[in-house]
Structure formats: structure tokens, C-alpha cells
A and B are shown apart, each in its own frame.
Chain A
Amino acid sequence: MAHLRPRSWGEALALRAAHPEAVPVSGGTDLMVRMNLAGHRPAALLDLSAVPGLAEWSDRSAWIRVGPAMTYTAMVRDLAEHAPALARASRGVGSPQIRNRGTIGGNLGTASPAGDCHPALLATRATIEVESVRGERLLPAREFYLGPRRSMLAPDELIKGVLIPKATAPQEFAKVGARNAMVIAVGSFALALHADEQRVGTGIGSAAPTPVIAGAAERYLDAELADGDYWEKRRPLPDVVHRRFAELVVTAADPIDDIRSTAAYRRHALGVLAYRALRWCWTDFLKGWR
């Protein structure tokens, strides 16, 4: 057993290639739970916490680039302007202690259907940068999640960053759980209005084997908004559009009965979240968001 602690990104990639048995660790809030209790004993850890710069974000004109080790606490503090749905999602993660350590890279590494970053990354059409000694790949968030805790990340790759288009109109994220703190979501939903492209984006968590988008709901709302010239005229959106949108969001889910909730309740909750997210976003848009 070894604790590998690279001091540079290049060294991290080299160690990843040379030690396939070593499990990467960033904030440890997912991995350590498994190691402490489940007796999960990886042969080695590849500790990314000493690689400089991974916790930072930068402004790339139309985009922001978020480093994989950026914590929820930092995303709440810094990303409310350019990535409001992600900042909102970060605010609801775990507890202050978990937000101080848990990272976006770790959330992607685990790729749990309940991970709170995913709906926001889907709704904003983010891109995930991954790299190995073989080279770099840019993976659309919408293609990243393959199955429960399975993603496009190859065994020799590391998550290098997340590229998120800057918000040009309101975004929302909401989740339902048993209480405010420390719950795994029963259902979550993110909505992003992309005013510049005049289209919307959605993301659903905890309602299928992977985080998913609500494609039919997106197409429906895009068409309604275009037909009624709502983007230009900034008119109130009829209630029936909200309700149809919510219904279509629910059809994208494939929830299960489990200890936290029944599938029927998950569907119901998701419909309510989708309805409200659209109402909140559109109301803010009419108020002249930026």
C-alpha cells in the first residue's frame, strides 16, 4: 500500500499510468466512507491534493473553467454569477464539513445518479476535460454518464477540469430530500435558460440509473418559446406551458422504489420541481435578469 502524492499534473498523469491499482483521491468524502466502513482497501491512493492549481477556476470569456478540486464551499462563494445552478446545487450538498472537502471532480469521479453537480452540468451543457498520458479528451456532460457509478472516464485518465458556458439567463436547481441538510436527494432538477442561443437545458438527478436530461421537455419548451416569440417579447408564460413541461420532464425519469422513496413519489416530486424551476426562471427572466 502506498500513498502517492504527485506535486504536478504531469507527475499525476504519469503515476496514474504507472499504478493502475492506485485510486485517485481528492476530498475523500466519497472514498473514505467506503474505506472506513465497507472495508474497501485499495492497494494505493493517488492523492491529488498536492497538485497546484486544481482547486481554482478561471474566466474564459464565454465560458468558465472549473478545476476538479474546487470544493462546494468555493463554488458557493465564487460561481453564483456565471454558474448559478451549480452554485445553488453546491449550497445544498451535505453539511459545511462536507462542502469544505467535497469537490466537483470527486462528484464526477463517483458519477452517482444522486450526485448534485450532474443536473447542473447537464442543463448548462458543460464539457468535461479528461487527460491521460495518451492525451486529452473533451467529453460533453450529456455523454459522460454511462450507468450507475460508470462514466466515460478511462482507467488511466484523470478529470482535469469542467468547462461551463457562462449563464446568459436565469438557472435553477432544486432537490427534494427528507430534511435540509445531509440527505441524499430523492429527486433533483436543474433548468438553465440559454438566452443567447434561445434554448433551454435540463438535468435530472436521482430518478434513473444515471443523471439524465429531459429531451422531450427541452424540445417542447424550445418550440413554445420560439413560436410565441417569448424570448424577444419577454412575455409571461402561460400556466399550461409550465404544466406540460413538467409532465414531459417526468416522462424522462425512470425511478425506483427504495428505502428513501417510492418511485411514484419520485415522479410526483420531480414534476413539482420542474414546474417550479420553470416558474422561477421565467419570472426572473421577465424581471430583466441582466
Chain B
Amino acid sequence: MNVTLTVNGEPRTAEGVRVHENLLHLLRARLGLTGAKNACEQGECGSCTVRMDGRAVCACLVPAGQAEGADIRTVEGLAGEDRLSATQACFLRAGAVQCGFCTPGLLMSLGELLDEDPDPGEDVVRERIAGNLCRCTGYQKIVEAARLAASRPPGA
């Protein structure tokens, strides 16, 4: 089947999609967007997190055909031409990126949170990233990055 969707604001069509394929495979293998990572394909690690019609979801658990007509946002859509997004910049400043495998998923999860609540407390941040595993940082720097992003002056 063909699946037509909007990815990072642009209409895209993936051809020859098989019924048992998931959205993560569609993005990575058919559209060449390898920012969302594949680690478990069980919904356990969150490294495949993308925004689907605004909500943070595990792309590995979305049947590809269900993405027909959906608005999908991936980590590739966050940075501008020559500028990181504010949250990305905060990740660097806080030292929240080590191997970086978990980072795209975390940015998408935190993006949903910061859209809903521009100044979440530490508990809220921790609860919101409970579905994103990081094997490197121990999470502290990630939480700091999120708090930094939340407290940044408007427009920064």
C-alpha cells in the first residue's frame, strides 16, 4: 500500500508499505529519516519516540497504515537551518548527551511536555521521561537540560 503523511511539515508518500510494518520502519527505511532510533520494538525504550498529531508516541508501535494522513514530527524537524532548537541547545549546555542514542526520543517526549507546560517541575519532567531509557547519563543531566529549557527567557 501507499501511505501519505506529513513529516516535519512536508507531505511525503511511502510506497509499497507492507501491512505489518510499523511507522518507525517507514520513517527510517522508506523515508531515510534515521533520527528516531530502533532498539527494542516493544515500546519499552522510547528511543523511537516521535510526535503523531502532537502526541509523543512510540513509532515502533504504530502500524504504518495508521499514519495515513497523520502529522508526524521527528527530531530532524527540530533544528533550523543553522541553529539548534532551544531544547537541543540546553541538552548540549547541560551535558545531557553522551552516546546520543536516547536523545532524539527524549527531545520528542520533552517537546510534548514543554508545549503543554512551559515550566514543569522536576517531578513532572521525571514522570514524563519514564518511557525513555538512557544507558549513559543516569538521567540527572537530562532533567537539568529540561529544567534549563523550561526556565529559558522567552525566545531564547
Contacts and interface: CB of A to CB of B under 8 A. Distances in A.
Interface stretch (B59-67, B77-85, B89-97): B59-67
Nearest to B53: A100
B109 interface: yes
Given A36-B60, A47-B63, A96 B19 contact: no
Interface string A86-110: 0000000011111011000000000
Interface string A40-51: 011011010100
Given A5-B65, A29-B61, A95-B131, 11 more contacts: A32-B63, A33-B41, A33-B42, A37-B41, A45-B65, A94-B43, A97-B43, A97-B56, A97-B131, A100-B56, A100-B57
Contact of A28 (B19, B62, B68): B62
B76 interface: no
B22 A32 contact: yes
Given A25-B66, A44-B19, A94 B131 contact: yes
11 contacts: A1-B20, A2-B19, A32-B62, A35-B20, A35-B63, A45-B19, A95-B132, A96-B131, A98-B131, A100-B55, A100-B57
Contact of B56 (A32, A36, A49, A96): A96
Contacts of A41: 20
B12 interface: no
B31 interface: no
B149 interface: no
Nearest to B108: A97
B49 interface: yes
Interface of A: 1-3, 5, 25, 27-29, 31-33, 35-37, 41-42, 44-45, 47, 49, 73, 94-98, 100-101, 180-182
B29 interface: no
B18 interface: yes
Given A29-B43, A96-B56, A100-B55, A5 B130 contact: no
Interface of B: 1, 18-20, 22, 41-44, 46, 49, 55-58, 60-63, 65-66, 68, 109, 112, 127-128, 130-132
A32 B131 contact: no
Contacts of A98: 43, 58, 61, 131
Contacts of B61: 27-29, 32-33, 36, 98, 101
B130 A95 contact: yes
Nearest to B68: A5
Contacts of B20: 1, 35, 41-42
A106 B128 CA distance: 23
